[in-house]
A and B are shown apart, each in its own frame.
Chain A
Amino acid sequence: MTKHPARAWDQATARTIIDSHRAEPGALLPIFHALQDTFGYVDREALPLIAEALNISRAEVHGVMSFYHDFREEPAGRTVIKICRAEACQAVGCQGLVDHVEARHGIALGETTADGAVTVEEVFCLGNCALGPSAMVDGKPLGRMTREKLDHLIAAARTGRQ
C-alpha cells in the first residue's frame, strides 16, 4: 500500500509490532498489515512469533495469511503497479493494457522484473470506475490509463526516476 519500506527484516522489530497489536480483538489482520507496512512483506519467521503471541497454531496463522490477496511472502518490486481488471475497466480496454505490458515489457500479471524494479499485479476495482481504465502505482490512483503512460511508468521505475 505504501511506498517501499526500506527496513530489512529483523525479529526484534517484528516482535515489537506484534506485541503492540496482540491485545486487540481479532488482531491477526492488523498484525499482518503492520508487518507488511514495515518490511514490505511478511517474513516466514514472523509466523511462529505471531502464533505464540496470539496463542493459535502456526497452521492457522499461515491459513489466514494465504487466504488474503494482499499479504506477500517475499518483497515486491520497488514499484508496484496494480492494473484494474474489473468490468468497468474492461469496458474501456483494460485487457489491452495488460496484454501490452506483457508483450512490450515482458511482465505478466503477478510477476516482478528480474532487476527487482517493477511488480505488476491485477486488482479488481479501485473505485475509480468512471475514469477507467484505472491503475494504482505505489498507492497512487491513476485514471484514464494508456499504454504510453504505462510505458513511462515502467521506464521511470527501471531507471530509478520517480
Chain B
Amino acid sequence: MTLRIYVPADASALSVGADLVADAIAAELAARRIEAQVIRTGSRGLFWLEPMVEVATLTGRIAYGPVDVADVPQLIPALLEGAPHKLKLGNPDAIPYLARQERLTFGRVGVIDPVSVDDYRAHGGFKGLEKALAMKPAEIVEEVVASGLRGRGGAGFPTGIKWRTVLGAQADQKYIVCNADEGDSGTFADRMLMEGDPMILIEGMTIAGLAVGATQGYIYIRSEYPHAFRTFGRAVEACRKAGLLGTRIAGSDRDFDITVRLGAGAYVCGEETSLLESLEGKRGLVRFKPPLPALKGLFGKPTVINNVLSLAAVPTILADGAKTYADFGMGRSRGTLPFQLAGNIKYGGLVEKAFGLTLGEAVHDFGGGTLSGRPLRAVQVGGPLGAYFPADYLDTPLDYEAFAQRRGMLGHGGIVVFDDTVDMAEQARFAFEFCAKESCGKCTPCRIGSTRGRETMERVIRGEHIADNLTLIEDLCRTMTDASLCALGGLTPYPVTSAIEHFPEDFDRPRAHRAAAE
C-alpha cells in the first residue's frame, strides 16, 4: 500500500504554515526515495493543532500536530513506522474536541480530498442526490419541510417553506442561489466547508434544483476567500467531468449546472436581495420586499436563495431521512449547528453539534476559555450585528429562540470571546463605524444613522455630556431598528445597546490613554 499522508490546505491551516509543511514533507520523502502520496484536505477545525498532519495506517489514521517545518525530518520516521513522536495525537476522531461533536454536515471535512468525486462518493457522497432523482419535486420539498431545517445564514426562516413557494411559482426559468458571502466576524464554517467538502454543497444545490425545477445555480463567494473560490471552482469542474453537473446529470433526464461568482468586498452583499443585485452586475443595493426573491429573484425569476450551511444540510436530510435529522436539536431549532469558536479563545475552531448546548459549554468545555488566560468579559454571538453578552449569560442555550429572548441572535453561529481588557464603549463605537463603512446607502436610517451614531459614541467616549448623548444613541437606535430596509441598519443597534445595557461602567469613565490601551 502506498503511504498516504494528509496535510490540510484550508486557509486557516495555510495561515500557520501548512504549505511549508507539505513542501517539507514532499522534499524529505523525495530525498529518502520514499514513495508516498501527499493529499491536501480541508481542516478538521481544531485550529490550535494546525498544521495537523495525518497518516493512513492499517488501523486507521494517526494525527500529529501542530507541525512546524523544523519537525518534519523527525516526523517522517514516525509516519513511516509509527515511531513515538512528541506531536503524536493518535486517532483524530478520538480527540475529545472531535469525539464529542455530532458532525452531519462536516463529517468529511479534513478527511477527504475535496476535489475528488471518487473520494466524496466513497465517503457516502451523492446518496441524497440519488434519492432525490427518484422522487417527485414536491416530495423533495416536503422532506426538507419535515426535517425542520431553518436557514443557517442567520434569519432562521424554514428552508422547506421557501422552496415550496419557488416550486409553486410558474416561470420559464428558476434559479438556485447559494449565498457564500460569509462576512460575519467570527464565522468561517462556510469557508471551511467550501475548502474541505465542496461537493456536499454542489449536491445540496443540485437537489434544490430538482426540488423546485431550477436548472441553473449560482454561488456567490466573497473575495476575501480566494482559496474557497478556487477549491469550489475545481470541485465544480470535477463534477462536470463526472457527469454530475450539466445536462442529464448522473444519467438522468434532468439538467443542472452551477456558475461560480466572486464578490468584490461588500459586507451588505450577504443580504440576500443585495447579493442578487450584485450577481446581476449592479451595485449591491438592498431591494424592497415584497416581492420576495422566491417569486421575483435573480434576473426577475423565482429564486431559492439559501446559505451554504442550509444547502449543505440537504444531502444528509435526503440520504438519512427527515426524521433522523429532526431528531437532533431542541424546540424549533432542529438538526445540528456548526458553530465557530473565535476571538480570544484557547481552542478556537469549528464545533458541529445539535442545537441546545449552552454558550458556556461551547466557550469553556470546547474552547478552553480565553487565549490570554485573563477572565472572560464579553461574548459576541452572531457576527458584527450580534449582541454582546456578559459572562452571566453563558447559560443561554444555542437555540434561535433562547437567544432572541435575551435580545441577542444566534446568526451564523459565530462565537467571539473577549477578555477583560475589552473596552465595550469602543466596541459600540466600532459597530457604528462598521455599519457606516458597509451601508449600501439606500435607506437613510442606516446610511446617516450609522455616521451620526459613531460621532455621538465618540463624544461619549470623550466624556462629553454622557447621559444626554446616550439618550440620543438610544433614540437613534430605535430609528435604525424600526426604519432600516435590511438587517445591516436594523441590527446594528444590537451590539450597541447590548454593550450599553450589560457593560454600563465602560460608558462612564475617564479614558485618557485609550489609544495606548491596546
Contact = CB atoms under 8 A, between A and B. Distances in A.
B16 A124 contact: no
Contacts of A113: none
B170 interface: no
A89 B343 CA distance: 6
Given A92-B344, A129-B187, A70 B279 contact: no
A89 B265 contact: no
A89 B185 contact: yes
Given A1-B226, A130-B340, A124 B185 contact: yes
A77 B501 CA distance: 44
A70 B266 CA distance: 8
B348 A141 contact: no
B438 interface: yes
B16 A130 contact: no
A150 B84 CA distance: 36
Given A27-B281, A143-B16, A126 B348 contact: no
B151 to A, nearest CB: 20
A88 B16 CA distance: 17
B284 A67 contact: yes
B362 interface: no
Nearest to A66: B283
Interface in A131-148: 131-132, 134, 136, 139-144
Contacts of A116: none
A94 to B, nearest CB: 9
B47 A131 contact: yes
A51 B261 CA distance: 21
A95 B514 CA distance: 12
B438 A88 contact: no
A26 B427 CA distance: 37
Contacts of A1: 223, 226
B15 A134 contact: yes
B416 A88 contact: yes
Interface residues of B, number: 65
Nearest to A140: B14
B186 A143 contact: no
A5 interface: no
Nearest to B189: A127
B79 interface: no
B419 interface: yes
Contact of A26 (B191, B279, B340): B279
B497 interface: no
Contact of A28 (B227, B281, B422, B518): B281
A101 B300 CA distance: 47
B14 A33 contact: no
B279 A129 contact: no
Interface in A1-59: 1, 25-30, 32-33, 54
B430 interface: yes
B468 to A, nearest CB: 28
B466 to A, nearest CB: 23
Interface in B254-293: 261-267, 278-284
Given A130-B345, A131-B348, A91 B282 contact: no
A112 to B, nearest CB: 18
Given A125-B185, A129-B348, A143 B281 contact: no
Given A30-B261, A33-B264, A64-B283, A90 B191 contact: no
Given A71-B264, A132-B342, A132-B343, A25 B299 contact: yes
A95 to B, nearest CB: 5
Given A25-B299, A70-B223, A87-B416, A127 B438 contact: no
B371 interface: yes
B352 interface: no
A68 B277 CA distance: 13
B369 interface: no
Given A95-B518, A96-B518, A142-B15, A127 B182 contact: yes
Interface of A: 1, 25-30, 32-33, 54, 63-64, 67-71, 86-93, 95-96, 99, 123-132, 134, 136, 139-144
Interface of B: 11-12, 14-16, 47-48, 50, 182-188, 190-192, 223-228, 261-267, 278-284, 299, 340-345, 348-349, 371-372, 380, 384, 414, 416-419, 422, 427, 430, 434, 437-438, 440, 515, 518
